Amino acid sequence: MLCPLEAAQLPLFLRNRFMLLKANLFGSTWTLALEKESWERGTPGEYENQVTQLQKSLKSPVALVVTDLPSNSRNRMVQKGIPFIVPGTQCFLPAVLVDLRERFPRQSKRGSVTLTPTAQLLLLYHLQRETLTGLPLNQIAEKLGCSAMMMSKVKDELEEAEICEVERMGRSIGLKFLSSKRELWKQAKLRLKSPVQKIRWAQWNNPGYPALLAGFSALSRRSMINDDRILTYALGPRMLESWLEKGTLVGCPDAESANVKIEAWSYEPKLLGDKECVDALSLYLSLQETTDERVQHQLEKLIEEIPW
């Protein structure tokens, strides 16, 4: 049985990077540290330091849980004795269970279930910014900053998902959404995912627009949740790499040496948010896997307050 573990004594970067669970494995109590999808894969050396910190703080054996692990990284982690689990594939728990056979699982169907980032952006734009029903596809593409070819693919995707229908308007083609906005959100919710692709600690001399407050920093502006010591900002696709190259941001190895936490999003947050914060629905999606009940309560309240 898996039980969520709250560990307020841990450094902020460890709480942000991992979801912690207690588990009974082969008669022993372990802490499973699930690396969140938004984080880039770490190096074996980084994982070694993080497992050591977790074990010292939690007084428990710790196993990393990662979605994939290249063979060279796996071999180095085995050499270092770092316990890890790749669900459905491999397990390395020294003195307990070692199964490092290569397996090639069936291709996930997740891509056919979750919407692509542009399709999600279009739907959230329709739900929060302005109604897109009746607008020609070329006008929608212009609003979202995407190509006509991409918009054609998104149109097919949303139609296949039964979120909207295609309607002809003279020589143009538009979209007709099949439900009210509140019902659309309920129907599409399982097809939507967090926009956060990467997270990076950084030093930024003049934080603010065009980056928008995100994560707990944005939630604290909309609820009674306290903000983290370090402000979180969201940037659109490729902006993080560009700003790091230009020196606008200076990357940091951890939270201790940073003054901002940067989320790199799969779509442009400025298209949905205001001049300060990201939009409510993307914020909900970015934090929906948080195990803190107070956060979950505030997220539900956030949805209830949306003027559909």
Identify the domain boundary among 164, 191, 218.
Answer: 191
- Please state, in angstroms and rounded to a whole number, the distance separating the CA atoms of residues 133 and 177: 6
Question: Is residue 221 domain-shared with residue 291, that is, in the same domain?
Answer: yes
Question: Is residue 177 domain-shared with residue 212, that is, in the same domain?
Answer: no
For residue 253, being part of any structural domain is answered with: yes
Question: Is residue 205 domain-shared with residue 254, that is, in the same domain?
Answer: yes
For residue 47, being part of any structural domain is answered with: yes
**Would the pLDDT of 262 be above 90?**
yes
For residue 176, being part of any structural domain is answered with: yes
Taking alpha carbons only, the member of 22, 23, 26 closest to residue 5 is 22
For residue 211, being part of any structural domain is answered with: yes
Question: Is residue 204 domain-shared with residue 297, that is, in the same domain?
Answer: yes
For residue 175, being part of any structural domain is answered with: yes
Beta strands in the chain (DSSP E): 3-4, 18-25, 28-35, 62-65, 84-86, 90-93, 97-99, 164-169, 172-177, 196-203, 212-213, 231-235, 250-251, 260-265
Residue 49 three-state SS: helix
Distances (CA, A) of 201 to 197, 247, 281, 282: 14, 14, 24, 21
Question: Is residue 170 domain-shared with residue 214, that is, in the same domain?
Answer: no
Question: Is residue 257 domain-shared with residue 227, that is, in the same domain?
Answer: yes
Q: What is the mean pLDDT of the chain?
A: 89
Question: Is residue 238 domain-shared with residue 298, that is, in the same domain?
Answer: yes
pLDDT for the residue 112: 46
- Alpha helix positions (H), 205-292: 215-222, 239-246, 280-287
Query: Which residue has 């071999």 as its token pair?
Result: 75
For residue 105, being part of any structural domain is answered with: no
**Would the pLDDT of 170 be above 60?**
yes
Identify the domain boundary among 76, 99, 122.
Answer: 99
Percent of the chain with pLDDT over 90: 59
pTM reported for the whole predicted model:
0.69
Give the mean model confidence (pLDDT) for residues 285-295.
Answer: 90
Identify the domain boundary among 78, 99, 120.
Answer: 99
Nearest 5°: CA angle at 88, between 82 and 193? Answer: 95
Kindly tell me the burial class for residue 54, based on how many C-beta atoms sit within 10 Å of its own C-beta (0-12, 13-18, 19 or more). buried
Which residues does residue 30 pair with via DSSP β-bridges, in sequence order? 23
Instruction: List, for residues 24-68, the tens digit of each pLDDT value.
Output: 887 788 999 998 877 777 778 889 999 999 999 998 899 999 887
For residue 186, being part of any structural domain is answered with: yes
Query: Which residue has 């930024």 as its token pair?
Result: 204
What CATH number corresponds to the domain at position 115?
1.10.10.10
Instruction: Quote the domain boundaries for residue 78.
Output: 3-99
Least confident of 18-32, 139-153, 227-241: 18-32
For residue 15, being part of any structural domain is answered with: yes
Question: Is residue 170 domain-shared with residue 116, that is, in the same domain?
Answer: yes
pLDDT for the residue 105: 45
Q: How far from the centroid of its chain's Cα atoms is residue 104's Cα?
A: 25
Question: Is residue 203 domain-shared with residue 183, that is, in the same domain?
Answer: no
Q: How far from the centroid of its chain's Cα atoms is residue 40's Cα?
A: 11
- Please state, in angstroms and rounded to a whole number, the distance separating the CA atoms of residues 246 and 142: 28
Instruction: List, for residues 107-134, the tens digit of each pLDDT value.
Output: 433 344 799 999 999 999 999 999 999 8
Question: Is residue 174 domain-shared with residue 208, that is, in the same domain?
Answer: no
Beta strands in 108-195 (DSSP E): 164-169, 172-177
One-letter amino acid for residue 128 of the chain: Q
Give the mean model confidence (pLDDT) for residues 209-217.
Answer: 95
When divided into structural domains, the chain yields a total of: 3
**Would the pLDDT of 103 be above 90?**
no
pLDDT for the residue 111: 40
Pairing of β 84-86 and β 62-65: parallel
Question: Is residue 114 domain-shared with residue 85, that is, in the same domain?
Answer: no
Question: Is residue 238 domain-shared with residue 224, that is, in the same domain?
Answer: yes
Report phi then psi at 67, rounded to 5: -75, -30
